[in-house]
Structure 1
Amino acid sequence: MQESRIGAGPHARWNGRLIGLVAVLVLVNFMVDTAITAPLLVLPEMLDHFGTDQTAWLNASAMLAGVMWAPLLGKSADVYGKRKVLVLTLLISCAGALVCAVAPSLWVFVPGRLLQGAAVAALFLSVAIVREICAPRIAMIVVGIVTSGSAVLNIGSRFLTEKLAAEFGFQILFLISAAVAIAMAICVRAVIPESLLKTPGRIDIGGALLLGGGLAGVLGYVSLGSEFGWLGLAPVVLLAGGAAALSRWVLVSSRKPDSLIDLRNIGAPLALTLLVLVLGTGSYQSMLQLIPLVSDVSADQGLGYGLAGQGTLALLLAAPGIGVMIGGPVAGMLATRVGPAMTLAGGIALGTVATLGMFLGVSQFPIAVFFAFLLGFTVGALGTSGFNLAGGLAPAERQGIVSSLVMVVIAIGSVVLDFVGAAVLKSTAVSVGGETVNSGTGVFTYITIASVAFAIAAVLVVMLVRKSRSSTKTPSLASL
């Protein structure tokens, strides 16, 4: 009975079974937060434990891995079934979390984060499942709930995990993530029906390795260049290797009939959507990385910023969670009236205002909480609108790979701006009382970069809205 539900027709209205499915998918995406975002709570502790200042590698390595995992698992979901691949994703993330929990050094911890990064795929696989089991109109709302509803749990978990980490060490967060991943794998297997709609094809593992490895090389250059010199041997080798891998990926992908991402057939609406998302979500993620760093510095140090002693970090990181919780469903409901392109534009406008507001927020706690909330609302609206807009450009049998494209650009944007921001902070650091700290110049330059990215996204989203209005029909991406 369970296996045939999807084939019986999509849900056109709310009912008990749909509510149960949505609840499980919301919990799945709560697991994604425990894997990707929760470690930000203990970022300073992890830096001290491993004796490193490589903030971006500790924070962004999981999202970096998501660039490789997303298209690989998205295509696998279309070929082998969405539920089966979602369960596999949860198990891989669990294994990575356990490696991180017992890692004796940074060189073991980072590979664990790369495995844990598979959790990124759980988000877009949930969206692909929703678009298959729901009629289009209700799907827009459900996508907003599924992608943002876990924020309800995140609000409480922020305070709990902060206390647990203080008592048992940062490793407890990874043990919790592993436990949640196992529990969700069992629930998905028991509750979510397997898709009956599958697409024959082969999985381009080599293409995924080239894409992920190439991006890792380029970003490794950005991360290490400020420490070893931009023309140092190791950074230049990383840059050359990464550029070569990415070039090879583009060349091979343009020729393979079963490539993970067919660059030749991405139309203008989807291309604009992806560019807006890579800039908008990347800016948000970089600001989220900045919050724990400025909250660890006191304003009394005279650096021009600092929130230490003004309030708890858990509240600062919970504020975006509240915003996400509201922004996602609101964007989904508005999309049924004005379309996802307009809701995406609204999200970008709010994000621009919120990022500019952080110029004041890095030194005044109440302002930081408000604009952190607004940033969360922004990312909830961007995620929901991006998935709804991109999903509408693909046929049912290609939802997995098209949804993965959204996750790929979200991961790329997050990783790039995280690394760029970390490099800026490192290159402008100053010594105060014998301790190296981030300078005010570095912090405000960091925020300026995020603000400029949002401004560029605003220009692109205006073009997208105009193109959407002028199109009577959205082109199909059946060849992806």
Structure 2
Amino acid sequence: MRARLAMRGMRSTRDSRPSAAEQHTSWSGRLARRVAVLMLVNVMVDTVIGAPLLVLPDMLDHFGTDQAAWLNASAMLAGAMWAPLLGRSADLYGTRRVLVTTLLMCCAGALVCLVAPNIWVFITGRLLQGAAVAAMFLTVALVRQLCAPGIAMTAVGVVTSGSAILGAVSPFFFAALAEEFGFRSVFVVSAVLAAVAAACVRRLIPESPTRAGGRLDIAGAVLLGGGLAAVLSYVSLGSQYGWFAAGPLALLIGGGAVLARWAVPARRIPEPVIDIRNVSRPLALTLLVVVLSTGAYQSTLQLLSLIADVAPADGLGYGLPAQGTLGPLFAAPSVGIMAGGALAGWLATRIGPAPTLAGGVAIGTVATIGMYLSISHFYAALVFAGLLGFAAGAIVTSGFNMATSVAPVASQGVVTGLVQVMLAVGSVLMNMVGTAVLTSTTVVVGGEETNSATGVHTCIAIAAVAFVAAMLAATILTRLRQPLTVLHNKEPPGL
């Protein structure tokens, strides 16, 4: 009896692989429409994560608080909590169904933020909106399940990076909108986009034919997500309130205990939310490359606003002329992300995702070193900022492509969720390191504390070191003899 049940479970996973007739085998008008819908989903994600930062001072004034870290990081931290649960749910119940549910949660979260009477209700809305972080990796899982190997990687590149082009104009749009209607208008746009995206996905995207066998380990997902969120909260808040302050320290100890509580049973139960026993060496190396390189380029790109806010005449050893230069400086990375993601997807179908990932890391290393040398020269900074954005697009696209190419088809939701968690972890950790460095190296100019050239140079140097470490891991990855399963349409033995 047990043997028959086991064989039935195996068939439910293997027979669920999409047949060639069910997959897109070439570009067509229908595929273009579906890719456009999934790009719209990622545009909504950008409004959830990035747009509130543009109106952060207004939100702080409205709620009468200085808790910028909570208002800023709550959605990203919630995304780390949601990712394991939603990724596994997608494998079990259907990726489109879970994506639509996620978008409706984002819409509900935006509406809660819109009517929030106090900061705690507002943060509750942001926690619901954090499900948007899962929406990005679910779009990748859908592409990989609905497209044939020959075009899937290119489509992933377009879906993950295509929305970045709006990054060049969205700050101006949201700034003007907030100026006219107040900061709440940002959440009106997010709610509308989420509702429209949910309707379009429900109407135009077919359900993935892939289903994994088994059940949902809800307790494990809650423990894993909650532990990750608590530890990342410590990293995010520690630099502001003190690494050994009671609150942040309680988050670290509690999060570590919760993760330990998850890890022990996860090695024993048959169907954990993430089977850490079967994580393959290629997948582990891919996640390592993603966490290192993501943190490196995110921390460097976020220095742009700091560098641009200082004039060369201030004599600090860094700074850029502000008049007429800020727009191009912030638009260059967005254009680079779109170009890098699309090109990386196209190249991956020809040379494989591992060499493409290594190439993106190499370009990021060069761009970071270039930023180190050009923080007082506008045109050089413009070129290297665009190149860094190009590397970011290539790394994100190649990270998703590489991870999904070495994982079973029925585990695409879990694997893309792992990559998304690494993106969040890398960003938070490196930003924490950068904040600590800048805080400890300030200088006093005109009676006010400001960041020093030593701090800025040190932050860029740390990012360069992280890129070099990622390059070493990526080189090892390219030398593995692991077959490119996505190109040969074979089922790998495990994660």
Same fold (TM over 0.5): yes
Q: Which residue of 2 aligns with 1:250?
A: 263
- Identity level (%): 61
8 Å CA contact 2:85, 2:225 repeated in 1: no
Counterparts of 1:135-284 in structure 2, within 5 Å, are 135-284=148-297
Segments of structure 2 that go 5 or more residues without pairing to the other structure are: 1-15
The letter for the 2-side match of 1:378 is A
| 1:334 corresponds to 2:347 | yes
Judge conservation of contact 1:340–1:388 (CA < 8 Å) in 2: yes
Change (3 A) 1:134 1:228: closer
Look up the match of 1:471: 482
* 1:237-386 equivalence runs, <5 A: 237-307=250-320, 309-311=322-324, 313-386=326-399
Which residue number corresponds to residue 446 of structure 1? 459
Residue by residue over 1:406-427, the C-alpha shift from the partner in whole angstroms, topping out at 9 and shown as x without a partner, is 1121121122222332333344
Contact 2:361-2:471 at 8 Å conserved across structures: yes
For residues 437 and 99 of structure 1, what CA distance do their matches in structure 2 show?
A: 37
Equivalent in the alignment of 1:416: 429
Structure 2 vs 1, CA of residues 341 and 232 (structure 1 numbering), >3 Å: closer, same or farther?
A: same
Separation of aligned partners in 1, 2:112 and 2:246: 31
Gaps of 5+ in 1: none
Report the AA paired with residue 343 of structure 2: V
Question: 1:150 & 1:342 partners in 2: Cα distance?
Answer: 24
Relative distance call for 1:209 and 1:446 in structure 2 (3 A) is: farther
Q: Alpha-carbon deviation of 1:457?
A: 0.3
Quick one: distance in 2 between partners of 1:190 and 1:383? Answer: 28
Counterpart Cα distance in 2 of 1:352 and 1:50: 41
In the alignment, the residues of structure 1 paired with residue 287 and residue 93 of structure 2 have an alpha-carbon distance, to the nearest angstrom, of: 26
Distance 1:436 1:376 in 2: 30
Counterparts of 2:270 and 2:348, CA distance in 1: 34
Describe the superposition over 1:421-440 as per-residue Cα deviations: whole angstroms up to 9, x where unpaired. 23333444455556554343
Report the TM-score when normalising by structure 2.
0.87
Aligned partner of 1:68 in structure 2 is 81
- Partner secondary structure for residue 156 of structure 2: helix
Which moves more between the two structures, 375-384 or 282-291? Answer: 282-291
Other structure's SS at 1:12 match: coil
Structure 1 letter corresponding to 2:316: L
Larger Cα-atom Rg = 2
Structure 1 letter corresponding to 2:482: S
Contact 2:83 2:225 in 1 (8 A): no
Q: What is the alpha-carbon distance in structure 2 between the residues aligned to residue 72 and residue 305 of structure 1?
A: 45
Rounded Cα–Cα distance in structure 2 between residues aligned with 1:326 and 1:195: 28
Structure 2 Cα separation of the partners of residues 70 and 348 of structure 1? 25
Count of residues paired in the alignment: 474
C-alpha deviation, 1:358, in angstroms? 2.3
**Matches for 1:37-76 after TM superposition, within 5 Å:** 37-42=50-55, 57-76=70-89
Deviation at 1:313, TM superposition (A): 4.3
Mapped partners of 1:170, 1:307: distance in 2 = 29
Q: Evaluate the alpha carbon distance shift between residue 9 and residue 208 of structure 1 in structure 2; reply closer, same or farther with a 3 A threshold.
A: same
Deviations 1:240-299 (A, max 9, x none): 112212222222322232211111111111100110011111222223333334434444
The answer to whether the Cα contact below 8 Å between 1:64 and 1:117 also exists between their aligned partners in 2 is yes
Shift of 1:224: 4.1
Deviation at 1:72, TM superposition (A): 1.1
Aligned partner letter, 1:123: M
**Offset at 1:45?**
5.7
| Closer, same or farther: CA 473–351 of 1 in aligned 2, 3 Å | closer
Question: CA shift at 1:181, angstroms?
Answer: 1.0
After TM superposition, the structure 1 stretch with the greater mean CA deviation from structure 2, 9-18 or 364-373, is 364-373
Separation in structure 2 between the aligned mates of residue 170 and residue 284 of structure 1, nearest angstrom:
29
Q: Secondary structure of 1:387's partner? A: helix
